[in-house]
């Protein structure tokens, strides 16, 4: 098996600790955490009252108790402040633990796991396993590539990760494989722009429609049950650089933007992106354009999962 291990300094980890940390997150996130197994991880979002995603997280039970939440580092400070607003009299706290919980991206292609890893097999997506102070969270795969988030949870884990870095080469395609997996990652430029279904978040298991209320829950539920998802995340490819927050236009309606880039990465001589797009325009004659009407042409291509009709 070919394996690469890449440091992820652009990823932050928050910790919610205390007797009522679960109560806090249960009331604020789109994901239900009460009763979550100790070996499970989940995608989750924190929304505005208008149902717009302010941040997305990978959430899992922390080894030292409470919960760990990985998110883009550009949103960490704002999300700590926002979660603290709702603590009130709850017996819990929220803090940025990025310095104590550094992250690496492990990509695996074919065959048996490398001997340098402390595991002989990988769990299914959205589950985790621990060894040598490292937490390995299996994320949704990209085509032909298994994706694992490694988090060092103590000094032993940081030492184990350092040894793995000597044993495994680094790579520059972690963000590209996230795009190919169809997994959105919000940053400061895209915070507050999307209802979760616009970025296919419910298809990834990021919304628990049976849990209690949370900010924006009414909008998210109404969008789901009325079948009014008119914009979806698609994978697009082009020849020029794309960046989160870039506007998209379509020849069929060039007077106004029809979408926005969510996350993007270089791919060989070109670029690939996950982009939110007005679905109806894709059935119209014309070309998708980057940043302006008449801008660089983009092509819509496949995701590894099906979108609802």
Burial zone of 132 (CB within 10 Å; 0-12 exposed, 13-18 middle, 19+ buried): middle
Please give the pLDDT value at position 297. Answer: 98
Please give the pLDDT value at position 175. Answer: 98
| Nearest-angstrom CA–CA distance, 224 and 222 | 5
| Nearest-angstrom CA–CA distance, 29 and 229 | 20
Please give the pLDDT value at position 309. Answer: 76
| Nearest-angstrom CA–CA distance, 138 and 109 | 14
End-to-end alpha carbon distance in the chain: 37
Which helix (H) or strand (E) covers residue 231, if one does? strand 231-238
DSSP string, 260-304: EEEEEEEETTEEEEEEEEEGGGGGSSS-EEESSTT--EEEEE--S
Please give the pLDDT value at position 1. Answer: 65
Please give the pLDDT value at position 25. Answer: 98
Q: Is 154 helix (H, G, I), strand (E, B) or coil?
A: coil
Please give the pLDDT value at position 228. Answer: 74
- For 161, phi then psi, to 5°, come to -65, -40
pLDDT in tens, the chain (309 residues): 689 999 999 999 999 999 999 999 999 999 999 999 999 999 999 999 999 999 999 999 999 999 999 999 999 999 999 999 999 999 999 999 999 999 999 999 987 788 999 999 998 999 999 999 999 999 999 999 999 999 999 999 999 999 999 999 999 999 999 999 999 999 999 999 999 999 999 999 999 999 889 999 999 999 888 877 899 999 999 999 999 999 999 999 999 999 999 999 999 999 999 999 999 999 999 999 999 999 999 999 999 999 987
Please give the pLDDT value at position 46. Answer: 98
């Amino acid at each position: 098996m070919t394996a690469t291990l890449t440091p992820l300094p652009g990823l932050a980890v928050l910790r919610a600790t205390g007797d009522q940390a679960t109560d806090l997150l249960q009331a604020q996130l789109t994901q239900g955490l009460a009763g979550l197994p100790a070996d499970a991880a989940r995608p989750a979002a924190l929304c505005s009252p208008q149902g717009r995603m302010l941040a997305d997280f990978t959430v899992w039970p922390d080894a030292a108790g409470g919960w760990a939440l990985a998110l883009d580092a550009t949103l960490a400070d704002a999300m700590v402040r926002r979660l603290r607003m709702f603590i009130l009299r709850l017996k819990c706290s929220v803090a940025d633990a990025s310095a104590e919980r550094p992250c690496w991206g492990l990509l695996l292609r074919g065959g048996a796991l490398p001997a340098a890893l402390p595991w002989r097999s990988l769990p299914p997506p959205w589950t985790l396993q621990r060894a040598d102070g490292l937490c390995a969270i299996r994320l949704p795969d990209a085509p032909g590539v298994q994706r694992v988030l490694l988090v060092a949870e103590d000094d032993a884990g940081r030492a184990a990760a350092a040894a793995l870095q000597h044993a495994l080469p680094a790579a520059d395609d972690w963000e590209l494989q996230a795009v190919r997996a169809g997994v959105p990652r919000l940053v400061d430029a895209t915070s507050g722009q999307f209802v979760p279904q616009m970025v296919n978040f419910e298809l990834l298991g990021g919304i628990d429609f049976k849990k209690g209320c949370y900010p924006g829950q009414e909008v998210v539920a109404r969008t789901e049950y009325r079948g009014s998802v008119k914009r979806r995340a698609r994978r697009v490819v082009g020849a020029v650089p794309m960046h989160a927050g870039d506007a998209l236009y379509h020849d069929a309606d060039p007077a106004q933007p029809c979408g926005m880039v969510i996350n993007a990465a270089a791919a060989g001589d070109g670029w690939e992106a996950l982009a939110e797009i007005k679905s109806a325009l894709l059935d119209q004659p014309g070309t998708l354009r980057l940043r302006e009407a008449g801008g660089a042409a983009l092509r819509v291509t496949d995701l590894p999962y099906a979108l609802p009709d």
